[in-house]
Amino acid sequence: MAGDGPAPVIIKRKKVVTGEGHHGGAWKVAYADFVTAMMAFFMLMWLLNATTEKQRKGIADYFNPTIPVNRISGGGEGMFGGTNIFSEEVLARSGTGGVKDGAQSAHSERSDREALEDLSETVSGALRQEAVSDQSLDHVAVHVTDEGLAIDIFDIEQAQVFQKNRAVLTEEGRQLLGIVANVLGRVSNEVAITGHVPVQPVVIRKNTGWELSVERALVVRRHMQRAGLEAARFHRISGKADRLALFDPPATIRNNRIRILVHGNRMKPKDIN
């Protein structure tokens, strides 16, 4: 009978479904890399917006290569005999960007600022000694900026540097500029002169701020040149009208001013004692 034979063998195939498609860890690594890159990008954008040009240069110098070798490589190892295909000034391997260069640059900046501060004290001392009246000192503000030494000469209520609404120096203005020109003759830095005027009333028929500020800057340049400052020293003469008011309110008479900027990037003192 059929029931007496061997029982059939039944094979069950079980389908195993793994969860790797949904629960693997590779995507987490990629996501972490993306978040890190975005954080670095936003930090870079913040640094560019929150720092000055000098601070950015300092940060860049910090990350420059710091193992300089010979400036000219001859027979060195590596491709192109130890040089690079871009520029001799790019990599430390070509002899730039090292610690020594950075230290020299920092020392140069410190020396430059110290020389500007010495010059500032000399200008202030000369004004105190040679000014004809005590109120003459109220016309002048001297301070060191990132660009150089700024000497601001402005009108006050009691006395003016220029005749009202004219590009004509008063006697006090001529004397002050003569003192400044004499001191600046002791160094060889380039000089920039910028004219400024107060905000003019809206009701006036014609606003002459631009013309007047430029004309006054030119008058100052001519007077300082006659006082002994070499013509080659002047590299920019300009007028800013009422765009950069230094005092509030913008219409105050003290915004009738001249800024004499002594650049410090090529500080060459002759004798500032």
The bridge status of strand 191-196 relative to strand 148-154 is: unpaired
Q: Of residues 196 and 12, which shows the higher confidence score?
A: 196
Give burial (CB, 10 Å; 0-12/13-18/19+) of 123: buried
Q: Is the pTM of this model over 0.85?
A: no
Rounded to 10 degrees, the C-alpha dihedral 161/163/169/175 comes to -40
Rounded CA separation 267/48 (Å): 28
Unique residue bearing structure tokens 């509030």: 248
pLDDT, mean over the chain: 77
The residue ranges of every structural domain in the chain are 56-97, 111-263
State the DSSP code for 89.
Answer: T
State the DSSP code for 198.
Answer: P
Query: What band does 246 get if pLDDT is binned at 50, 70 and 90?
Result: confident
Q: Which amino acid is at 203?
A: V
Q: Which amino acid is at 226?
A: R
Rounded CA separation 182/204 (Å): 39
Q: Which amino acid is at 155?
A: D
The bridge status of strand 191-196 relative to strand 234-239 is: parallel
Q: Kindly report, residue by residue over 73-121, the tens digit of the pLDDT.
A: 444 444 444 444 444 444 444 444 444 455 555 555 667 788 888 888 8
CATH class of 111-263: alpha beta
Give yes or no for a contact between 234 and 221, defined as CB atoms under 8 angstroms apart: yes
- Please choose, from the candidates 231, 230, 242, 238, the residue with its C-alpha nearest in 3D space to the C-alpha of residue 260: 238
Q: Which amino acid is at 103?
A: A
